[in-house]
């Protein structure tokens, strides 16, 4: 199978009601942890090239392959027992996958 060229590939559809992240706010929060602005955007480019995320007009959307690498059962439990749980006043709770 011959891989499709960039011209042959269709853009990934982005719906208006999708949750997005602003790449500038993500940069402000995490650039230092990733080694600066240049490396941060290089990592984002790699994620976009692998189709884990979609970047358009300064926004980051979920890509079609993100579900392949994210175990939502583990992530949900970490979010609820982490900062969100503290903010909402929850104790440690078990989330069924």
Residues 22 and 56 in one domain: yes
Q: Given a cut of 90, is residue 42 above it in pLDDT?
A: yes
- CA distances in angstroms from 73 to 9, 35, 52, 58, 95, listed in the order given: 32, 30, 18, 29, 7
Residue 10, in any domain of the structure: no
Q: Average pLDDT in the 25-53 region?
A: 90
Q: Identify the domain containing residue 46 by its residue range.
A: 18-64
Average pLDDT of the chain is 76
**0.75 surpassed by pTM:** no
Residues 73 and 48 in one domain: no
Based on the structure, what is the number of domains in the chain? 2
**Angstrom distance (rounded) from CA 2 to CA 20:** 33
Residue 12, in any domain of the structure: no
Residues 23 and 60 in one domain: yes
Residues 22 and 33 in one domain: yes
């Amino acid at each position: 199978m011959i891989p499709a060229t960039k011209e042959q590939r269709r853009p990934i559809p982005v719906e208006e009601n999708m949750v997005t992240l602003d790449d500038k706010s993500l940069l402000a929060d995490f650039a230092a942890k990733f080694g600066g602005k240049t490396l941060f955007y290089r990592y984002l480019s790699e994620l976009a090239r692998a189709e884990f995320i979609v970047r358009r007009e300064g926004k980051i959307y979920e890509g079609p392959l993100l579900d392949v690498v994210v175990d939502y059962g583990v992530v949900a439990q970490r979010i609820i027992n982490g900062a969100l749980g503290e903010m909402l006043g929850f104790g440690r709770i078990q989330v069924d996958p």
